[in-house]
Structure 1
């Protein structure tokens, strides 16, 4: 189309600009420099697009302004802020807490067993954090028990520790990792057979014997209930073996079964913690404990320890059954409450003695002349003596 007259004068610059813009686009697409541009540049001089005669020219600017493309191009991209991952700890792991410096001669509570024992040890450390007279150490292996091809030699490790440190008491919690495992043999001793139970009982009693020979008390924590009936049956069987070993006067069995059940006797992962608040006490597998659960087990274990060791005050004496808040500064001069009249053997007690008839059978003592319980003593100040027996001058 050809324009003439005033219209041609008005449209000519626009047409010329359009041609130049198209030439630039072709140059970008095909890598060629338009003739008009190449002729305008002096020889030997390189024309950079930013410095050339079309500096800042954008043939698509009208369309970008129309559809908002220019504003979008000018908008600075927002930097993505990476969120730092939240630090979480396993459900049974202990939080950080401050432990006061222990006395150089502080007594030692030795905790022995598997992963559950490790959790109880941390709970005891938390409970006893502010008591400089006592400290807690452990001999634990998370996935070990008494069974398997190469179980730990618990007795040797415990004996070595007792003879190398001032151990006041030993705490044991073990058994979870023994489920389904055999004892080595030819053939292997199968799980929960009569032979298996006898072998397991021997392992338990061997550990107890080692500690007892060193005259140290033992606290044995039982296994908890689960939501699996088969596991509950196995745990109940193991608990009966632990209770059997606790027949000794210096072995205390801590039964935690009922304290981790709901009010109706069913399994529950929740329950009151040591502060009385409802909390999650069991892990997702419904066997292990959360930190609140381990603290609860440690609470009942520590209560027994406090009874045996007399509140950790002064010296530790065997058989102390006093209030845990009562500090024993001197040893008992009498026997523990479990024994009568200080007798260690039943045959040492004479059933015909006056003391035995009075304290055990409840028989009254024979009245003694002149004693307040003598029925011959006159009531209301009158003397039982006759007039002839009164001294002269009365």
Structure 2
């Protein structure tokens, strides 16, 4: 019994020793693997390939975390190329464009009004960018018009600028910001009443009057059609006031209503631009303009300015007025509407002058000797051979020959001169 017991104890001891050795071996292997994993972690992440139900399991993950290792290797994402941010600008804002350096004495086009006027000013600057003899300046308040407590004194601002610079013409576009506003008073003058329209007319006439007193031409751009019928009715009322104030010969009203309508007369936000390309001309509110729309308005405004200022020819030839022998052939220096009698200055007309008697009284001009309408012209003598005289008068009817008297004379060379005069009948 003791022998068996000793044998069992020996076996147990050996088994325990074996377990200890195996445990130590596994520990050494694990430690070696951990050190190797740590070294690999310093060089890079470890990839553990496993199959079966334990796929994705990493027994060395605690050691990797202990020695600074990472988890599973992540795939490197391809680097995205950095794109430049897209620069967007408001619909009515102009793009960048080159402007030719202006002359120090360049004439000035003054643009007055609200946000729409500022857009027209930008369009004119773009159109006239390559003309050094003319420049554009804006006097605008985006959200102000003629009505409201904070509305500017447009007439005062315009006069002060005209007297401080070489202003060649004034452009006005206004009214968009006056919708729904009342004139101040006790009680306030409500929008679109008869009293309101009369007050508005006085404001418009006042601005026109101060510009004309400074002897400057004025171009007034009307308001456009919109996608709102109520706004269209209000704009139509305002346009009638603007057009009524443009009866002066040096005030031009630019009617843009029809050019911003579709072919069937309906409203459309799209239409041909100044280059003929179909594009968006109006913003989302269907009232304001995009940049292409402002350029289109400026195109028609500039056309009237060119007519008033003679294609800027008067500005392109400095010192022309000082040379009486210089004749401008490439542009007018006065407007085509200048009075034939008296020009731009309303001077007293001499009723005794030949020009007045001819154009006003209808008296004929005195005959000028040698001119075709001079009744005193002498009879023309026609020389011809004697044989040709009979041939010429042969087909003449007897009545016509009797009504004509002729004299013929023959020279030394045998040529006959025939003078034909009306007969006595």
TM-score by length of 2: 0.67
Contact 1:171 1:221 in 2 (8 A): yes
Matched with 2:187 is 187
Q: How do residues 266-277 of structure 1 correspond to structure 2 at under 5 angstroms?
A: 266-277=266-277
Q: Using a 3 Å threshold, how does the CA distance of structure 1 residues 53 and 380 change in structure 2: closer, same or farther?
A: closer
> Structure 1 residue 316: deviation in Å?
8.7
> Structure 1 residue 76: deviation in Å?
2.6
1:281 and 1:55 map into 2 onto residues whose CA distance is 69
> Structure 1 residue 314: deviation in Å?
3.6
Matched with 1:327 is 331
Q: Using a 3 Å threshold, how does the CA distance of structure 1 residues 363 and 50 change in structure 2: closer, same or farther?
A: farther
Please state whether the residue corresponding to 1:158 is helix, strand or coil.
Answer: helix
Q: How do residues 82-101 of structure 1 correspond to structure 2 at under 5 angstroms?
A: 84-101=84-101
1:60 and 1:179 map into 2 onto residues whose CA distance is 76
Matched with 2:111 is 111
Q: Using a 3 Å threshold, how does the CA distance of structure 1 residues 347 and 257 change in structure 2: closer, same or farther?
A: farther
Contact 1:310 1:316 in 2 (8 A): no
Structure 1 residue 287 and structure 2 residue 291: aligned?
no
1:62 and 1:119 map into 2 onto residues whose CA distance is 71
> Structure 1 residue 88: deviation in Å?
1.2
Match among 31, 44, 50 for residue 62 of structure 1 = 50
> Structure 1 residue 249: deviation in Å?
1.7
> Structure 1 residue 349: deviation in Å?
9.1
Matched with 2:278 is 278
Matched with 1:207 is 207
> Structure 1 residue 104: deviation in Å?
0.5
> Structure 1 residue 49: deviation in Å?
8.3
Matched with 1:44 is none
Contact 1:168 1:316 in 2 (8 A): no
Q: Using a 3 Å threshold, how does the CA distance of structure 1 residues 365 and 314 change in structure 2: closer, same or farther?
A: closer
Q: How do residues 1-394 of structure 1 correspond to structure 2 at under 5 angstroms?
A: 50-51=34-35, 61-63=49-51, 67=55, 73-78=73-78, 84-315=84-315, 326-328=330-332, 331=333, 336-337=336-337, 339-342=339-342, 372-373=372-373, 381=381
Please state whether the residue corresponding to 2:163 is helix, strand or coil.
Answer: helix
Please state whether the residue corresponding to 1:170 is helix, strand or coil.
Answer: strand
1:59 and 1:179 map into 2 onto residues whose CA distance is 73
> Structure 1 residue 173: deviation in Å?
0.4
1:64 and 1:72 map into 2 onto residues whose CA distance is 17
1:74 and 1:222 map into 2 onto residues whose CA distance is 67
The Cα offsets for residues 349-373 of structure 1, whole Å up to 9 and x where unpaired, read as: 97x9996797689998798897523
What RMSD in Å do the two structures reach over aligned CA positions?
Answer: 4.4
- Gaps of at least 5 residues in structure 2 are 1-18, 59-70, 318-328, 384-403, 408-418, 420-425
Q: Using a 3 Å threshold, how does the CA distance of structure 1 residues 254 and 378 change in structure 2: closer, same or farther?
A: same
> Structure 1 residue 74: deviation in Å?
4.5
Please state whether the residue corresponding to 1:209 is helix, strand or coil.
Answer: helix
The Cα offsets for residues 274-320 of structure 1, whole Å up to 9 and x where unpaired, read as: 11221211111111111111111111111111111122234499xxx
1:53 and 1:218 map into 2 onto residues whose CA distance is 88
1:315 and 1:72 map into 2 onto residues whose CA distance is 79
The Cα offsets for residues 136-176 of structure 1, whole Å up to 9 and x where unpaired, read as: 11011111111112211111211221121111111100000
1:230 and 1:85 map into 2 onto residues whose CA distance is 41
Matched with 1:24 is none
- Gaps of at least 5 residues in structure 1 are 1-15, 21-33, 42-46, 318-324, 388-393
1:125 and 1:59 map into 2 onto residues whose CA distance is 67
The Cα offsets for residues 31-57 of structure 1, whole Å up to 9 and x where unpaired, read as: xxx9x85xx79xxxxx89842899889
- Farther-moved stretch of structure 1 (103-112 vs 243-252): 243-252
Q: Using a 3 Å threshold, how does the CA distance of structure 1 residues 301 and 55 change in structure 2: closer, same or farther?
A: closer
- Farther-moved stretch of structure 1 (182-191 vs 68-77): 68-77
Please state whether the residue corresponding to 1:207 is helix, strand or coil.
Answer: helix
* Residues paired across the two proteins, number: 340
Please state whether the residue corresponding to 1:73 is helix, strand or coil.
Answer: coil
Q: Using a 3 Å threshold, how does the CA distance of structure 1 residues 125 and 64 change in structure 2: closer, same or farther?
A: farther
Q: Using a 3 Å threshold, how does the CA distance of structure 1 residues 184 and 282 change in structure 2: closer, same or farther?
A: same
Contact 2:111 2:139 in 1 (8 A): yes
Contact 2:254 2:300 in 1 (8 A): yes
> Structure 1 residue 62: deviation in Å?
2.2
Please state whether the residue corresponding to 1:130 is helix, strand or coil.
Answer: coil
